[in-house]
Amino acid sequence: MENVCMNDASEPEFGMLFNSEQDAYDYYNSYGRAMGFSVRRHFVNKSKKDNTTITSRGFVCSKAGCQLSDKRDINIVNPRAETRTNCEARMNIYLVDEGKYKCRDFVREHNHELHTTSTVHMMRSQRNMLDIHRYEIDLADDSGIRPRSTVELMGRHAGGIENLNYMTQDVRNYLRTKRQRALTYGEAGSLMKYFVTQTRNNPSFTYSFQLDSEEQITNLFWADPKMIIDYTQFGDVVSFDTTFRTNKECRPFGLFAGFNHHRGCTVFWAALLYDETVESFKWLFEVFAEAHGGKEPITIFTDQDKAMARALKEMWPQTWHGLCTWHLMQNGITHLGHMMKDGSHFLTNLKKCIYEYDVEDEFETVWFNLLDEYDVKNNEWLQRIYGLKSQWARCYMKNTFTIGIRNTQLSESLNSDLKDYLKSTLDIVQFFKHFERVLNQKHGNELKAEFDA
């Protein structure tokens, strides 16, 4: 018989010739799609006939073989469903002298129901991801598009997801394998490779890391050229926040942010910390200043972290340290939430002390009236923040250069953007790629503001 086209879906016949084993598999797989069953390779066997070695190959229905229940581990919580029914359907081929393969055996009958036309694209043998598909999936992943949305979009391009050669789970498996290959040298090695690549592409890219006694990376600090330029121009007032946790180790992610000339949010530096101790913050502030030739911000706003405050006092004694008023109010709700019920105006009056009074004597009068009215003179939290009033009360800050910043909401807004794209299960290299995308969005916003101006 003449050679068979691999795309032909007609029923196999004894004596059919194929140019290669792959052509034979593709032919039988096309036939399986038309009929509604999945195909897998079954065996490689060499037999002798008339003193001649015959090399045989087999393609069988995926349900061939016996059930595996007796071989399964009883401790498996969610075992896979039993799918094999000892189906005998198959097509066997063998190698002939011309270097081609000939069909030597074909069994048509199945002992199970076949898949319908609308579900054949879900069969394993039909799910084959091409290089162009992988390229588009990589672009979608780098853009923060999740696998389910990626499949939906590409299905629309193909006229329906049934016309795709893969499913959402295949996309997830591909991305997981890709990330495992990216971390071949371990997380630390892959991280160093990422930084070396960034530095090679742009020598102005800056990074620094700290090692512990076991030579493991603990704290990490980096900035791209755009961040460095922005800090030179707009870094007099800085907001610094470390409340966002990035990965499965819950490492604090710190952002130095501020306003640009369009009063838009801009990032100056970023850091991944091992912990939030005085030593970690001192290292961070030291490398920050060194990277900028010793330039320290005039003003910095942080939350009420004691370790951070101590490190700032020791490392940047000339920088004025303000407390984030938003965190101040959140802490107030935590410590005095019981006083804000049943129509109480305590929270409203506390806000007035923070934001409204320009005269110090007026502030002092209202503050002590507040303590008397609600009988909270002995409250430890109120006593503690009163001792820090010069760092949050408007009347004590009126001569401080703040360009209108009163809190760390600049950093908080960036954290919110990151949460749209990041999960705690991401590895460190994925985190950097997603962080780059968030920065690109901020740069795009700045260009739009420049255009509008």
* Nearest-angstrom CA–CA distance, 123 and 393: 66
* 275-278-280-285 Cα dihedral, nearest 10 degrees: 140
- Residue in the structure block whose two tokens are 């330039």: 295
For residues 239-253, average pLDDT? 69
Residue 339, token pair as written in the block: 């006083």
Q: pLDDT value at position 412?
A: 59
* Residue 426 backbone zone (phi > 0: left; psi -120 to 50: alpha; other: beta): beta
For residues 361-368, average pLDDT? 92
> In this predicted model, what pLDDT tens digit does every residue of 323-355 receive, in sequence order?
988 888 888 888 887 776 766 788 888 888 888
DSSP secondary structure letters along 79-129: PPPP-------EEEEEE-TTS-EEEEEEE---SSPPPPGGGGGGSGGG---
CB-CB contact of 414 with 265 (8 Å)? yes
CATH class of 186-324+407-448: alpha beta
* Nearest-angstrom CA–CA distance, 175 and 147: 9
DSSP state of 340: G
> In this predicted model, what pLDDT tens digit does every residue of 380-415 receive, in sequence order?
989 999 999 999 998 998 888 988 887 766 665 666
Q: pLDDT value at position 243?
A: 67
**pTM confidence score:** 0.64
Cα 350 to the center of its chain, rounded Å = 39
Nearest 5 degrees, angle CA 435-CA 436-CA 442?
95
Residue 449 has pLDDT above 70, yes or no: yes
* Nearest-angstrom CA–CA distance, 351 and 341: 16
| Among 251, 289, 252, 250, residue whose Cα is nearest residue 269 | 289
Cα 108 to the center of its chain, rounded Å = 48
DSSP secondary structure letters along 44-62: EEEEEETTEEEEEEEEEET
* Nearest-angstrom CA–CA distance, 289 and 284: 9
Beta-sheet strand order (sheet of 217-223): 206-211, 217-223, 265-272, 252-259, 237-245, 299-302, 320-323
How many helical (H) and strand (E) elements, i.e. helices and strands, does the chain have?
Answer: 15, 12
CB-based burial, 281-293: b 16+ in 10 Å, e otherwise:
bbbbbbbbbebbe
Q: pLDDT value at position 37?
A: 92
- Within 10 angstroms of residue 83's Cβ, the number of other Cβ atoms is 12
Say which range, 13-17, 53-57, 305-309, 395-399, has the weakest mean pLDDT. Answer: 53-57
* Nearest-angstrom CA–CA distance, 175 and 328: 42
Say which range, 90-104, 178-192, 343-357, has the weakest mean pLDDT. Answer: 178-192
* Nearest-angstrom CA–CA distance, 92 and 290: 71
66 vs 241, more confident: 241
For residues 232-250, average pLDDT? 76
* Nearest-angstrom CA–CA distance, 345 and 339: 9
Angle between helix 428-452 and helix 168-182 axes, rounded to 10 deg: 100
> In this predicted model, what pLDDT tens digit does every residue of 202-237 receive, in sequence order?
888 888 888 766 667 778 888 888 998 999 999 999
Q: pLDDT value at position 139?
A: 84
122 vs 185, more confident: 122
> In this predicted model, what pLDDT tens digit does every residue of 286-331 receive, in sequence order?
998 888 888 899 999 988 888 999 999 999 999 999 998 888 888 8
* Nearest-angstrom CA–CA distance, 283 and 314: 11
Q: pLDDT value at position 5?
A: 43
Q: pLDDT value at position 7?
A: 45
HSE-up (13 A, CA, CB side) for residue 57: 19
The terminus-to-terminus CA distance of the chain in angstroms comes to 76
Mean predicted lDDT score pLDDT of the chain: 81
- Residue in the structure block whose two tokens are 């991401």: 426
For residues 104-114, average pLDDT? 90
* Nearest-angstrom CA–CA distance, 71 and 50: 40
CB-based burial, 177-214: b 16+ in 10 Å, e otherwise:
eeeeebbeeeeeebbeebbeebeeeeeebbbbbbeeee
| CA separation, residue 28 to residues 19, 23, 64, 162 (Å) | 14, 9, 15, 20
Residue 30 has pLDDT above 80, yes or no: yes
183 vs 407, more confident: 407
DSSP secondary structure letters along 348-381: HHHHHHHHT--SHHHHHHHHHHHHHHTT-TT-HH
